[in-house]
Structure 1
Amino acid sequence: MSTKANRYAHQLMDARNHARLLPPLSASDELSLEDGYDIGKRILDASIGQGEVAVGRKLGFANRIISPKYGVNEAINMPIWSHIFESTVRYAEGNRGIQSLDGAMQPRVEPEVVFKLATTPAPDATMDELADCIEWMAHGFEIAICPFPDWKFEAVDAISAFGLHGTLIIGEPHVLSTATRRNLGDILANSSVSLSCCTEDAMTLCAAGFGSDVLGSPLHALWHLHQQLQNQTQFDPLTAGEIVTTGTWTDAYPVQAGQTWVTAFSGIALPGLTVSFV
Protein backbone atom coordinates (compact mmCIF):
# COMPACT_ATOMS: atom_id res chain seq x y z
CA MET A 1 0.00 0.00 0.00
CA SER A 2 2.95 2.35 0.61
CA THR A 3 3.61 3.35 -3.00
CA LYS A 4 -0.10 3.40 -3.79
CA ALA A 5 -0.86 5.57 -0.74
CA ASN A 6 1.77 8.09 -1.80
CA ARG A 7 0.36 8.21 -5.31
CA TYR A 8 -3.19 8.74 -4.10
CA ALA A 9 -2.05 11.37 -1.60
CA HIS A 10 -0.34 13.39 -4.32
CA GLN A 11 -3.35 13.03 -6.63
CA LEU A 12 -5.66 14.40 -3.95
CA MET A 13 -3.30 17.25 -3.05
CA ASP A 14 -2.96 18.17 -6.72
CA ALA A 15 -6.74 18.11 -7.17
CA ARG A 16 -7.14 20.40 -4.15
CA ASN A 17 -4.43 22.79 -5.28
CA HIS A 18 -5.95 23.13 -8.75
CA ALA A 19 -9.64 22.83 -7.76
CA ARG A 20 -10.01 19.87 -10.05
CA LEU A 21 -12.50 17.02 -9.61
CA LEU A 22 -11.40 13.40 -9.84
CA PRO A 23 -13.14 10.02 -9.61
CA PRO A 24 -13.48 8.47 -6.15
CA LEU A 25 -10.51 6.26 -5.29
CA SER A 26 -12.92 3.48 -4.38
CA ALA A 27 -14.29 3.41 -7.94
CA SER A 28 -11.14 1.70 -9.21
CA ASP A 29 -9.55 0.13 -6.13
CA GLU A 30 -10.55 -1.90 -3.08
CA LEU A 31 -9.52 0.22 -0.13
CA SER A 32 -10.14 -0.23 3.59
CA LEU A 33 -10.75 2.55 6.09
CA GLU A 34 -7.21 1.91 7.35
CA ASP A 35 -5.95 2.55 3.81
CA GLY A 36 -7.80 5.86 3.89
CA TYR A 37 -6.05 6.94 7.08
CA ASP A 38 -2.74 5.77 5.59
CA ILE A 39 -3.35 8.12 2.66
CA GLY A 40 -4.33 10.84 5.13
CA LYS A 41 -1.06 10.35 7.00
CA ARG A 42 0.88 10.79 3.74
CA ILE A 43 -1.06 14.00 3.08
CA LEU A 44 -0.34 15.22 6.63
CA ASP A 45 3.39 14.55 6.29
CA ALA A 46 3.56 16.16 2.85
CA SER A 47 1.59 19.19 4.01
CA ILE A 48 3.87 19.72 7.01
CA GLY A 49 6.85 19.32 4.66
CA GLN A 50 5.42 22.18 2.60
CA GLY A 51 5.19 24.45 5.65
CA GLU A 52 1.65 23.77 6.88
CA VAL A 53 1.06 23.71 10.65
CA ALA A 54 -1.47 21.21 12.00
CA VAL A 55 -3.57 22.90 14.71
CA GLY A 56 -6.25 20.30 15.43
CA ARG A 57 -8.78 17.84 14.03
CA LYS A 58 -12.21 17.75 12.49
CA LEU A 59 -14.83 15.08 12.88
CA GLY A 60 -17.02 14.20 9.94
CA PHE A 61 -20.17 12.08 9.66
CA ALA A 62 -20.73 12.25 13.41
CA ASN A 63 -24.39 13.19 12.95
CA ARG A 64 -26.36 9.96 13.31
CA ILE A 65 -29.36 11.36 11.42
CA ILE A 66 -27.49 12.81 8.44
CA SER A 67 -24.49 10.52 7.90
CA PRO A 68 -26.37 7.49 6.49
CA LYS A 69 -27.51 9.69 3.56
CA TYR A 70 -23.93 9.60 2.28
CA GLY A 71 -22.08 6.74 0.63
CA VAL A 72 -22.81 5.16 -2.75
CA ASN A 73 -22.61 1.41 -2.16
CA GLU A 74 -22.68 1.50 1.62
CA ALA A 75 -24.15 4.12 3.94
CA ILE A 76 -21.59 5.96 6.05
CA ASN A 77 -22.55 5.03 9.60
CA MET A 78 -19.46 5.92 11.59
CA PRO A 79 -17.49 9.12 12.21
CA ILE A 80 -14.28 9.91 10.36
CA TRP A 81 -11.65 12.49 11.20
CA SER A 82 -8.81 14.47 9.65
CA HIS A 83 -6.35 17.21 10.55
CA ILE A 84 -7.01 20.92 10.22
CA PHE A 85 -4.27 23.46 9.59
CA GLU A 86 -3.37 26.99 10.55
CA SER A 87 -4.04 28.02 6.95
CA THR A 88 -7.55 26.53 6.96
CA VAL A 89 -8.83 28.02 10.24
CA ARG A 90 -10.26 31.54 10.50
CA TYR A 91 -11.85 33.51 13.34
CA ALA A 92 -14.97 35.61 12.75
CA GLU A 93 -14.59 38.84 14.69
CA GLY A 94 -17.90 39.79 16.26
CA ASN A 95 -19.33 36.51 14.97
CA ARG A 96 -19.52 37.97 11.46
CA GLY A 97 -17.29 37.21 8.50
CA ILE A 98 -16.74 37.22 4.76
CA GLN A 99 -15.40 34.09 3.10
CA SER A 100 -14.12 33.70 -0.45
CA LEU A 101 -15.16 30.57 -2.32
CA ASP A 102 -12.34 30.84 -4.85
CA GLY A 103 -10.86 27.38 -5.36
CA ALA A 104 -13.44 25.67 -3.16
CA MET A 105 -14.74 22.52 -4.85
CA GLN A 106 -18.49 22.03 -4.45
CA PRO A 107 -18.53 23.88 -1.10
CA ARG A 108 -21.13 23.15 1.55
CA VAL A 109 -21.70 24.74 4.96
CA GLU A 110 -22.04 22.84 8.24
CA PRO A 111 -22.84 24.42 11.66
CA GLU A 112 -20.73 22.85 14.40
CA VAL A 113 -19.41 23.26 17.94
CA VAL A 114 -15.66 23.69 18.32
CA PHE A 115 -13.53 22.94 21.38
CA LYS A 116 -10.02 24.03 22.29
CA LEU A 117 -8.08 21.83 24.69
CA ALA A 118 -6.26 23.53 27.56
CA THR A 119 -4.63 20.33 28.82
CA THR A 120 -3.78 16.95 27.34
CA PRO A 121 -6.38 14.30 28.25
CA ALA A 122 -5.24 11.06 29.84
CA PRO A 123 -5.51 8.03 27.54
CA ASP A 124 -8.34 6.60 29.65
CA ALA A 125 -10.09 9.92 30.32
CA THR A 126 -13.81 9.74 30.99
CA MET A 127 -16.14 12.26 29.39
CA ASP A 128 -16.19 14.29 32.61
CA GLU A 129 -12.40 14.29 32.72
CA LEU A 130 -12.30 15.23 29.06
CA ALA A 131 -14.61 18.17 29.73
CA ASP A 132 -12.15 19.37 32.37
CA CYS A 133 -9.46 19.50 29.66
CA ILE A 134 -11.42 21.98 27.52
CA GLU A 135 -10.41 25.64 27.63
CA TRP A 136 -13.21 27.06 25.50
CA MET A 137 -15.98 26.20 23.11
CA ALA A 138 -17.26 28.18 20.17
CA HIS A 139 -19.69 27.94 17.30
CA GLY A 140 -18.13 27.31 13.93
CA PHE A 141 -18.95 26.93 10.27
CA GLU A 142 -17.12 24.07 8.60
CA ILE A 143 -16.91 24.78 4.87
CA ALA A 144 -16.70 21.27 3.51
CA ILE A 145 -15.33 20.71 0.01
CA CYS A 146 -15.43 17.60 -2.14
CA PRO A 147 -13.18 16.63 -5.06
CA PHE A 148 -15.54 13.85 -6.15
CA PRO A 149 -18.30 14.66 -8.67
CA ASP A 150 -21.77 15.30 -7.22
CA TRP A 151 -20.59 14.52 -3.69
CA LYS A 152 -20.67 10.78 -4.48
CA PHE A 153 -18.10 8.78 -2.54
CA GLU A 154 -17.52 6.07 0.05
CA ALA A 155 -16.20 6.59 3.59
CA VAL A 156 -12.62 5.73 2.57
CA ASP A 157 -12.72 8.43 -0.11
CA ALA A 158 -13.83 11.05 2.39
CA ILE A 159 -11.11 10.04 4.85
CA SER A 160 -8.46 10.22 2.14
CA ALA A 161 -9.59 13.59 0.77
CA PHE A 162 -8.68 15.71 3.81
CA GLY A 163 -11.85 14.48 5.53
CA LEU A 164 -13.64 16.85 3.09
CA HIS A 165 -12.28 19.75 5.17
CA GLY A 166 -12.04 23.08 3.43
CA THR A 167 -12.15 25.98 5.90
CA LEU A 168 -13.22 26.25 9.54
CA ILE A 169 -14.67 29.63 10.52
CA ILE A 170 -14.80 30.00 14.31
CA GLY A 171 -16.98 32.47 16.18
CA GLU A 172 -16.33 34.07 19.56
CA PRO A 173 -14.76 31.56 21.98
CA HIS A 174 -16.45 31.13 25.36
CA VAL A 175 -14.21 30.04 28.23
CA LEU A 176 -15.98 27.33 30.19
CA SER A 177 -16.83 27.69 33.86
CA THR A 178 -16.51 24.79 36.27
CA ALA A 179 -20.30 24.44 36.40
CA THR A 180 -20.59 24.37 32.60
CA ARG A 181 -17.87 21.72 32.31
CA ARG A 182 -19.67 19.57 34.87
CA ASN A 183 -22.87 19.57 32.76
CA LEU A 184 -21.43 20.17 29.31
CA GLY A 185 -22.58 16.92 27.71
CA ASP A 186 -26.20 17.40 28.79
CA ILE A 187 -26.24 21.11 27.96
CA LEU A 188 -25.09 20.48 24.41
CA ALA A 189 -27.32 17.44 23.95
CA ASN A 190 -30.38 19.53 24.84
CA SER A 191 -29.49 22.46 22.58
CA SER A 192 -30.53 23.19 19.01
CA VAL A 193 -29.41 25.38 16.12
CA SER A 194 -31.23 26.90 13.14
CA LEU A 195 -29.50 27.43 9.80
CA SER A 196 -30.78 30.06 7.36
CA CYS A 197 -29.69 31.34 3.96
CA CYS A 198 -30.09 34.99 2.97
CA THR A 199 -29.98 36.41 -0.54
CA GLU A 200 -30.95 39.82 -1.89
CA ASP A 201 -34.50 38.58 -2.30
CA ALA A 202 -35.29 36.45 0.73
CA MET A 203 -34.23 34.75 3.94
CA THR A 204 -34.93 31.01 4.00
CA LEU A 205 -34.81 28.72 7.03
CA CYS A 206 -32.99 25.67 5.67
CA ALA A 207 -32.63 23.39 8.67
CA ALA A 208 -32.76 22.89 12.41
CA GLY A 209 -30.41 20.52 14.18
CA PHE A 210 -29.85 19.16 17.65
CA GLY A 211 -26.74 18.53 19.70
CA SER A 212 -28.08 15.10 20.61
CA ASP A 213 -27.77 14.05 16.96
CA VAL A 214 -23.97 14.43 17.13
CA LEU A 215 -23.17 11.06 18.72
CA GLY A 216 -25.46 11.99 21.60
CA SER A 217 -23.54 15.21 22.30
CA PRO A 218 -20.54 17.03 20.78
CA LEU A 219 -18.68 16.21 24.01
CA HIS A 220 -19.25 12.51 23.35
CA ALA A 221 -18.03 13.06 19.78
CA LEU A 222 -14.81 14.50 21.21
CA TRP A 223 -14.48 11.50 23.53
CA HIS A 224 -15.07 9.14 20.59
CA LEU A 225 -12.22 10.79 18.66
CA HIS A 226 -9.96 10.61 21.70
CA GLN A 227 -10.65 6.88 22.04
CA GLN A 228 -10.16 6.20 18.33
CA LEU A 229 -6.76 7.86 18.37
CA GLN A 230 -5.60 5.46 21.08
CA ASN A 231 -5.77 2.74 18.41
CA GLN A 232 -4.21 4.78 15.61
CA THR A 233 -0.65 4.97 16.81
CA GLN A 234 0.60 6.41 13.52
CA PHE A 235 -1.05 9.67 14.63
CA ASP A 236 -0.39 11.80 17.70
CA PRO A 237 -3.11 11.67 20.37
CA LEU A 238 -5.10 14.76 21.26
CA THR A 239 -2.87 17.28 23.02
CA ALA A 240 -3.14 20.62 24.80
CA GLY A 241 -3.70 23.53 22.44
CA GLU A 242 -5.54 21.56 19.77
CA ILE A 243 -8.79 22.78 18.22
CA VAL A 244 -11.41 20.13 17.47
CA THR A 245 -14.59 20.70 15.51
CA THR A 246 -17.01 17.97 16.42
CA GLY A 247 -19.39 17.47 13.49
CA THR A 248 -22.35 19.15 11.86
CA TRP A 249 -25.71 19.61 13.59
CA THR A 250 -27.58 19.73 10.25
CA ASP A 251 -27.09 18.40 6.76
CA ALA A 252 -24.37 20.09 4.70
CA TYR A 253 -25.90 22.71 2.40
CA PRO A 254 -24.38 23.93 -0.88
CA VAL A 255 -23.18 27.53 -0.74
CA GLN A 256 -22.71 30.09 -3.49
CA ALA A 257 -21.16 33.52 -3.80
CA GLY A 258 -23.72 36.18 -2.96
CA GLN A 259 -25.32 34.21 -0.14
CA THR A 260 -25.16 34.99 3.57
CA TRP A 261 -25.67 32.12 6.02
CA VAL A 262 -26.95 32.74 9.53
CA THR A 263 -27.33 30.53 12.61
CA ALA A 264 -29.05 30.92 15.98
CA PHE A 265 -28.86 28.65 19.03
CA SER A 266 -31.44 27.65 21.62
CA GLY A 267 -30.65 26.06 24.95
CA ILE A 268 -27.06 27.25 25.15
CA ALA A 269 -25.37 30.62 25.52
CA LEU A 270 -23.57 30.57 22.19
CA PRO A 271 -24.12 33.38 19.69
CA GLY A 272 -24.92 32.52 16.12
CA LEU A 273 -22.70 33.22 13.13
CA THR A 274 -23.32 35.41 10.08
CA VAL A 275 -21.00 34.65 7.17
CA SER A 276 -21.25 36.13 3.67
CA PHE A 277 -19.70 34.26 0.75
CA VAL A 278 -18.03 35.97 -2.17
Structure 2
Amino acid sequence: MLMSSLADRYAYQFLEARAHSRSLNPITSETNLCIADAYDIAKSLDTIRTAEGEVPVGRKLGFTNSTLWCKYGEKEPITAPMWSTLFDSTVRYLDQPFTVQSLAGAMRPRIEPEVVVKLGHTPAADASFEELAECLEWMAHGVEIVVCPYPDWKFEAADAIAAFGLHGTLLIGEPRLLSNATRHHLADVIANASVSLSCDGQLLSAGYGSNVMESPLHAIWHLHQLLKTQPQFPGLQAGEIITTGTWTDAYPVAAGQTWSTAFSGVTLPGLNISFV
Protein backbone atom coordinates (compact mmCIF):
# COMPACT_ATOMS: atom_id res chain seq x y z
CA MET A 1 0.00 0.00 0.00
CA LEU A 2 1.35 3.41 -0.99
CA MET A 3 1.66 6.14 1.61
CA SER A 4 -1.18 8.60 1.02
CA SER A 5 1.26 11.44 0.38
CA LEU A 6 3.01 9.45 -2.37
CA ALA A 7 -0.28 8.38 -3.94
CA ASP A 8 -1.38 12.02 -3.94
CA ARG A 9 1.89 13.11 -5.53
CA TYR A 10 1.47 10.66 -8.38
CA ALA A 11 -2.19 11.64 -8.75
CA TYR A 12 -1.29 15.31 -9.18
CA GLN A 13 1.34 14.34 -11.75
CA PHE A 14 -1.30 12.57 -13.83
CA LEU A 15 -3.76 15.44 -13.49
CA GLU A 16 -1.11 17.95 -14.53
CA ALA A 17 -0.01 15.83 -17.49
CA ARG A 18 -3.60 15.47 -18.69
CA ALA A 19 -4.32 19.17 -18.29
CA HIS A 20 -1.32 20.08 -20.44
CA SER A 21 -1.33 17.05 -22.81
CA ARG A 22 2.10 16.06 -21.61
CA SER A 23 3.68 12.61 -21.87
CA LEU A 24 4.89 10.70 -18.82
CA ASN A 25 7.23 7.80 -18.29
CA PRO A 26 5.46 4.75 -16.88
CA ILE A 27 5.88 4.61 -13.12
CA THR A 28 6.96 0.97 -13.44
CA SER A 29 9.97 2.06 -15.50
CA GLU A 30 11.29 3.94 -12.48
CA THR A 31 10.08 1.99 -9.44
CA ASN A 32 8.10 -1.06 -8.44
CA LEU A 33 4.37 -0.43 -8.63
CA CYS A 34 1.95 -3.25 -7.93
CA ILE A 35 -1.74 -3.36 -8.82
CA ALA A 36 -2.79 -2.46 -5.26
CA ASP A 37 -0.49 0.58 -5.34
CA ALA A 38 -2.03 1.68 -8.63
CA TYR A 39 -5.51 1.57 -7.14
CA ASP A 40 -4.24 3.72 -4.26
CA ILE A 41 -3.30 6.33 -6.88
CA ALA A 42 -6.70 5.89 -8.51
CA LYS A 43 -8.36 6.51 -5.14
CA SER A 44 -6.35 9.73 -4.71
CA LEU A 45 -7.42 10.82 -8.19
CA ASP A 46 -11.07 10.18 -7.28
CA THR A 47 -10.75 12.19 -4.08
CA ILE A 48 -9.04 15.14 -5.75
CA ARG A 49 -11.43 15.25 -8.72
CA THR A 50 -14.49 15.05 -6.48
CA ALA A 51 -13.14 17.85 -4.28
CA GLU A 52 -12.68 19.98 -7.40
CA GLY A 53 -16.33 19.58 -8.35
CA GLU A 54 -16.41 16.62 -10.72
CA VAL A 55 -19.23 14.15 -10.10
CA PRO A 56 -18.67 10.36 -10.16
CA VAL A 57 -21.26 8.71 -12.42
CA GLY A 58 -20.06 5.13 -12.78
CA ARG A 59 -17.20 2.82 -13.66
CA LYS A 60 -15.08 2.12 -16.70
CA LEU A 61 -13.88 -1.44 -17.23
CA GLY A 62 -10.75 -2.05 -19.25
CA PHE A 63 -8.86 -5.05 -20.58
CA THR A 64 -11.94 -7.24 -20.38
CA ASN A 65 -11.24 -8.48 -23.92
CA SER A 66 -8.78 -11.29 -23.29
CA THR A 67 -7.98 -11.65 -27.01
CA LEU A 68 -6.03 -8.38 -26.68
CA TRP A 69 -4.06 -9.10 -23.51
CA CYS A 70 -0.97 -10.25 -25.40
CA LYS A 71 -0.75 -6.85 -27.15
CA TYR A 72 -0.33 -4.84 -23.96
CA GLY A 73 2.29 -4.97 -21.22
CA GLU A 74 6.05 -4.66 -21.70
CA LYS A 75 7.54 -6.80 -18.94
CA GLU A 76 4.62 -9.19 -18.97
CA PRO A 77 1.29 -9.24 -20.83
CA ILE A 78 -1.92 -7.95 -19.28
CA THR A 79 -3.74 -10.88 -17.70
CA ALA A 80 -6.78 -9.41 -15.93
CA PRO A 81 -9.41 -6.67 -16.28
CA MET A 82 -9.11 -3.36 -14.49
CA TRP A 83 -11.50 -0.52 -13.67
CA SER A 84 -11.59 3.20 -12.96
CA THR A 85 -14.18 5.75 -11.91
CA LEU A 86 -16.19 7.59 -14.57
CA PHE A 87 -16.91 11.28 -14.00
CA ASP A 88 -19.57 13.48 -15.55
CA SER A 89 -16.91 15.65 -17.21
CA THR A 90 -15.94 12.87 -19.65
CA VAL A 91 -19.33 11.32 -20.46
CA ARG A 92 -21.58 12.49 -23.31
CA TYR A 93 -25.10 11.23 -23.99
CA LEU A 94 -25.95 11.48 -27.68
CA ASP A 95 -29.48 12.35 -28.82
CA GLN A 96 -28.83 11.15 -32.36
CA PRO A 97 -26.56 8.55 -33.99
CA PHE A 98 -24.37 11.20 -35.68
CA THR A 99 -22.04 13.42 -33.68
CA VAL A 100 -18.86 15.45 -33.82
CA GLN A 101 -16.19 14.85 -31.20
CA SER A 102 -13.15 17.02 -30.55
CA LEU A 103 -9.78 15.36 -30.00
CA ALA A 104 -8.22 18.54 -28.62
CA GLY A 105 -5.85 17.63 -25.82
CA ALA A 106 -6.33 13.88 -26.26
CA MET A 107 -3.05 12.00 -25.95
CA ARG A 108 -2.66 9.19 -28.50
CA PRO A 109 -6.43 8.63 -28.81
CA ARG A 110 -7.90 5.30 -29.82
CA ILE A 111 -11.49 4.17 -30.34
CA GLU A 112 -13.28 1.27 -28.66
CA PRO A 113 -16.87 0.08 -29.38
CA GLU A 114 -18.56 -1.19 -26.23
CA VAL A 115 -21.83 -1.83 -24.42
CA VAL A 116 -22.82 0.41 -21.51
CA VAL A 117 -25.36 -0.48 -18.83
CA LYS A 118 -27.05 1.46 -16.06
CA LEU A 119 -27.86 0.02 -12.65
CA GLY A 120 -31.46 0.65 -11.64
CA HIS A 121 -30.98 -1.02 -8.26
CA THR A 122 -28.06 -1.45 -5.89
CA PRO A 123 -26.91 -5.09 -5.97
CA ALA A 124 -26.52 -6.85 -2.66
CA ALA A 125 -22.95 -7.66 -1.69
CA ASP A 126 -23.73 -11.36 -1.99
CA ALA A 127 -25.90 -11.01 -5.11
CA SER A 128 -25.74 -13.94 -7.50
CA PHE A 129 -24.96 -13.40 -11.17
CA GLU A 130 -28.68 -13.64 -11.98
CA GLU A 131 -29.56 -11.17 -9.20
CA LEU A 132 -26.95 -8.74 -10.50
CA ALA A 133 -28.49 -8.92 -13.97
CA GLU A 134 -31.88 -8.12 -12.44
CA CYS A 135 -30.44 -4.81 -11.18
CA LEU A 136 -29.83 -3.50 -14.71
CA GLU A 137 -32.12 -0.71 -15.92
CA TRP A 138 -30.95 -0.13 -19.47
CA MET A 139 -28.32 -1.01 -22.03
CA ALA A 140 -26.79 1.24 -24.68
CA HIS A 141 -24.04 1.28 -27.25
CA GLY A 142 -21.03 3.24 -26.15
CA VAL A 143 -17.89 4.38 -27.90
CA GLU A 144 -14.98 5.10 -25.62
CA ILE A 145 -12.06 7.24 -26.67
CA VAL A 146 -9.14 5.89 -24.71
CA VAL A 147 -5.99 7.96 -24.25
CA CYS A 148 -2.48 7.21 -23.07
CA PRO A 149 0.16 9.49 -21.52
CA TYR A 150 2.86 6.90 -22.16
CA PRO A 151 4.88 7.01 -25.42
CA ASP A 152 3.98 4.32 -27.98
CA TRP A 153 1.27 2.92 -25.70
CA LYS A 154 3.91 1.01 -23.75
CA PHE A 155 3.08 0.35 -20.10
CA GLU A 156 2.30 -2.29 -17.48
CA ALA A 157 -1.13 -3.03 -16.04
CA ALA A 158 -0.43 -0.94 -12.93
CA ASP A 159 0.54 2.06 -15.09
CA ALA A 160 -2.77 1.84 -16.95
CA ILE A 161 -4.81 1.76 -13.74
CA ALA A 162 -2.96 4.78 -12.35
CA ALA A 163 -3.45 6.79 -15.54
CA PHE A 164 -7.25 7.16 -15.21
CA GLY A 165 -7.64 3.62 -16.53
CA LEU A 166 -6.62 5.13 -19.91
CA HIS A 167 -10.09 6.68 -20.10
CA GLY A 168 -10.60 9.77 -22.24
CA THR A 169 -14.24 10.26 -23.26
CA LEU A 170 -17.32 8.03 -23.32
CA LEU A 171 -20.04 8.64 -25.92
CA ILE A 172 -23.34 6.89 -25.13
CA GLY A 173 -26.01 6.20 -27.72
CA GLU A 174 -29.74 5.76 -27.21
CA PRO A 175 -30.46 3.66 -24.08
CA ARG A 176 -32.79 0.68 -24.41
CA LEU A 177 -34.82 -0.17 -21.33
CA LEU A 178 -34.55 -3.81 -20.30
CA SER A 179 -37.59 -5.92 -19.53
CA ASN A 180 -37.54 -8.73 -16.98
CA ALA A 181 -37.55 -11.28 -19.79
CA THR A 182 -34.68 -9.55 -21.57
CA ARG A 183 -32.55 -9.42 -18.43
CA HIS A 184 -32.97 -13.16 -17.97
CA HIS A 185 -31.35 -13.92 -21.34
CA LEU A 186 -29.21 -10.82 -21.74
CA ALA A 187 -25.83 -12.43 -21.04
CA ASP A 188 -26.31 -14.94 -23.86
CA VAL A 189 -27.85 -12.42 -26.25
CA ILE A 190 -24.94 -10.00 -25.95
CA ALA A 191 -22.37 -12.80 -26.07
CA ASN A 192 -23.69 -13.89 -29.46
CA ALA A 193 -23.94 -10.36 -30.90
CA SER A 194 -21.27 -8.67 -33.00
CA VAL A 195 -20.20 -5.14 -33.84
CA SER A 196 -18.37 -3.81 -36.89
CA LEU A 197 -15.99 -0.85 -36.80
CA SER A 198 -15.34 1.25 -39.92
CA CYS A 199 -13.28 4.34 -40.71
CA ASP A 200 -14.29 6.62 -43.59
CA GLY A 201 -16.41 3.83 -45.02
CA GLN A 202 -13.73 1.13 -44.83
CA LEU A 203 -14.42 -1.85 -42.57
CA LEU A 204 -11.49 -2.33 -40.21
CA SER A 205 -12.65 -4.83 -37.65
CA ALA A 206 -15.50 -6.87 -36.22
CA GLY A 207 -15.81 -8.12 -32.68
CA TYR A 208 -18.13 -10.27 -30.62
CA GLY A 209 -19.66 -9.82 -27.21
CA SER A 210 -18.14 -13.16 -26.26
CA ASN A 211 -14.69 -11.54 -26.53
CA VAL A 212 -15.53 -9.67 -23.33
CA MET A 213 -15.10 -12.35 -20.66
CA GLU A 214 -17.54 -14.56 -22.60
CA SER A 215 -20.20 -11.87 -22.10
CA PRO A 216 -20.10 -8.21 -20.99
CA LEU A 217 -22.38 -9.15 -18.10
CA HIS A 218 -19.64 -11.41 -16.79
CA ALA A 219 -17.36 -8.36 -16.80
CA ILE A 220 -19.84 -6.55 -14.53
CA TRP A 221 -19.94 -9.58 -12.27
CA HIS A 222 -16.14 -9.57 -12.12
CA LEU A 223 -16.19 -5.90 -11.10
CA HIS A 224 -18.78 -6.57 -8.40
CA GLN A 225 -16.56 -9.30 -6.93
CA LEU A 226 -13.37 -7.25 -7.23
CA LEU A 227 -14.86 -4.32 -5.33
CA LYS A 228 -15.39 -6.59 -2.33
CA THR A 229 -11.60 -6.77 -2.03
CA GLN A 230 -11.16 -2.98 -2.30
CA PRO A 231 -12.84 -1.43 0.76
CA GLN A 232 -11.38 1.99 -0.06
CA PHE A 233 -13.89 2.20 -2.93
CA PRO A 234 -17.70 2.16 -2.73
CA GLY A 235 -19.53 -0.86 -4.08
CA LEU A 236 -21.78 -0.67 -7.10
CA GLN A 237 -24.74 1.65 -6.55
CA ALA A 238 -28.09 2.31 -8.21
CA GLY A 239 -27.79 5.02 -10.87
CA GLU A 240 -24.25 4.11 -11.91
CA ILE A 241 -23.32 3.50 -15.53
CA ILE A 242 -20.76 0.83 -16.39
CA THR A 243 -18.91 0.59 -19.67
CA THR A 244 -17.89 -3.01 -20.05
CA GLY A 245 -14.90 -3.03 -22.41
CA THR A 246 -14.13 -3.06 -26.10
CA TRP A 247 -15.32 -5.77 -28.47
CA THR A 248 -12.56 -5.05 -30.98
CA ASP A 249 -8.98 -3.87 -30.82
CA ALA A 250 -8.50 -0.19 -30.01
CA TYR A 251 -7.68 1.72 -33.21
CA PRO A 252 -5.87 5.08 -33.41
CA VAL A 253 -8.12 7.97 -34.43
CA ALA A 254 -7.30 11.38 -35.89
CA ALA A 255 -9.06 14.64 -36.67
CA GLY A 256 -10.73 14.55 -40.07
CA GLN A 257 -11.80 10.93 -39.80
CA THR A 258 -15.37 9.62 -39.49
CA TRP A 259 -15.83 6.34 -37.68
CA SER A 260 -18.98 4.22 -37.64
CA THR A 261 -20.25 1.15 -35.86
CA ALA A 262 -23.05 -1.32 -36.58
CA PHE A 263 -24.44 -4.19 -34.52
CA SER A 264 -25.75 -7.59 -35.47
CA GLY A 265 -27.66 -9.88 -33.13
CA VAL A 266 -28.77 -7.18 -30.71
CA THR A 267 -31.12 -4.22 -31.21
CA LEU A 268 -28.68 -1.40 -30.56
CA PRO A 269 -28.23 1.40 -33.11
CA GLY A 270 -24.72 2.07 -34.35
CA LEU A 271 -22.96 5.42 -34.09
CA ASN A 272 -21.24 7.71 -36.58
CA ILE A 273 -18.56 9.97 -35.10
CA SER A 274 -16.64 12.66 -36.95
CA PHE A 275 -13.48 13.73 -35.18
CA VAL A 276 -12.15 17.29 -35.28
Spell out the pairing of 1:18-97 with structure 2 (5 A cutoff): 18-97=20-99
Cα deviation, residue 30, structure 1: 0.2
Q: 200, 204, 207: which one pairs with 1:206?
A: 204
Paired position in structure 1 for 2:223: 225
| Structure 2 CA distance for aligned equivalents of residues 91 and 68 of structure 1 | 32
Q: How many residues align?
A: 274
SS in 1 for 2:25: coil
| Distance apart, 1:68 and its partner CA | 2.2
Cα distance in 2 between the residues matched to 1:268 and 1:126? 24
Three-state SS of the structure 1 residue aligned to 2:66 is coil
Q: Provide the rounded CA distance (Å) in 2 between the counterparts of 1:13 and 1:77.
A: 27
CA distance in 2, matches of 1:179, 1:207: 31
Q: Which amino acid aligns with 1:244?
A: I
Q: Aligned-pair distance for 1:191?
A: 0.6
What is the rounded CA distance, in whole Å, between the counterparts of 2:83 and 2:113 in structure 1?
A: 16
TM-score between the two structures when normalised by the length of structure 2: 0.98
- The CA deviation at 1:216 is 0.7
Is 1:259–2:257 an aligned residue pair?
yes
Instruction: Give the distance between the partners of 1:128 and 1:55, measured in 2 at CA.
Output: 24
Deviation string, structure 1 residues 165-199 (Cα, Å, up to 9, x no partner): 0000000000001111010000011011000001x
- In structure 1, list runs of 5 or more residues that go unmatched: none
Deviations 1:237-262 (A, max 9, x none): 00000000000000000000011110
Listed as ranges, the matches of 1:1-278 within 5 Å are: 1-2=2-3, 3-198=5-200, 203-278=201-276
Aligned-partner residue type, residue 78 of structure 2: I
- What SS does structure 1 have at the residue aligned with 2:267? coil
Shift of 1:89: 0.3
Once the two structures are TM-superposed, the CA of residue 7 in structure 1 deviates from its matched residue by 1.2
Q: Report the CA distance between 1:127 and its aligned residue.
A: 1.7
After superposition, what is the alpha-carbon deviation per residue over 1:208-248, rounded to whole angstroms, capped at 9, x for unaligned?
A: 00000100100000110011001100000000000000000
Aligned-residue offset at 1:92: 1.5
How much is the aligned-residue C-alpha RMSD, in angstroms? 0.7
| Unpaired stretches in structure 2, ≥5 consecutive residues | none
Cα offset for 1:20?
Answer: 0.4
Provide the rounded CA distance (Å) in 2 between the counterparts of 1:166 and 1:67: 20
- Separation in 2 of the partners of 1:72 and 1:204? 31
Distance 2:233 2:164 in 1: 15
Moved over 6 A (4+): none
More deviation in 139-148 or 63-72? 63-72
Q: CA deviation at 1:67?
A: 2.2
- Tell me how far 1:124 sits from its aligned partner: 1.4
Deviation at 1:6, TM superposition (A): 1.4
SS of alignment partner, residue 67 of structure 2: coil
Q: Which amino acid aligns with 1:56?
A: G
Question: Secondary structure of the residue that 1:22 maps to in structure 2?
Answer: coil
Query: 1:96 Cα deviation (Å)?
Result: 1.8
Question: 2 CA distance for matches of 1:224 and 1:248?
Answer: 16
